[in-house]
Amino acid sequence: MTTKEATAEVVRKSITVDVPPERAFEVFTGGMTRWWPLDTHHIGESEPNEVVVEPQAGGRWFERAADGSECEWGRVLTWDPPQRVVFGWHLGPEWKYNPDPALSTEVEVRFIAEGTGTRVELEHRGFEVHGDRADELRIPIAGEGGWSGLLERFAAEAA
């Protein structure tokens, strides 16, 4: 794969939930522990029991284990409740945290009012920073065990 091909690859997913944007935003960010599958989707050495999103631009996005150990996933780049949140995803093809922002991808989540519900649009982009290894990250993220399945879990919790 060339870098040019990787540049065009963006993962886009959406789901509609029957709750107002304020509730959808809160469940997605402040309630991530309730819907994120920590038993299978974690990277720390200790099994986590909590996902934390610090509610401000520059805040951390991380998992915390019962023993207090923490493992970062990324940073909050934009905090605009209840319309939008953007995360810097600091996990590369090795599924390990890398603090270098130049090697992070971005996850943008928009919460759009539709009648009495909310359309949640997610875009995960920037895989090209991983060069020839971009698809090692993008393909699993685009699959059922990635954002599709995660959004289904989120929707169930939001309801």
The predicted-structure confidence for 83-101, as pLDDT tens digits, reads as follows 999 999 999 999 999 999 9
Q: Mean pLDDT in the chain? A: 94
pTM, rounded to two decimals: 0.92
Indicate if the alpha-carbon torsion angle 146, 69, 48, 18 is positive or negative: negative
Model confidence pLDDT, tens digit, residues 56-91: 999 999 999 999 999 999 999 999 999 999 999 999
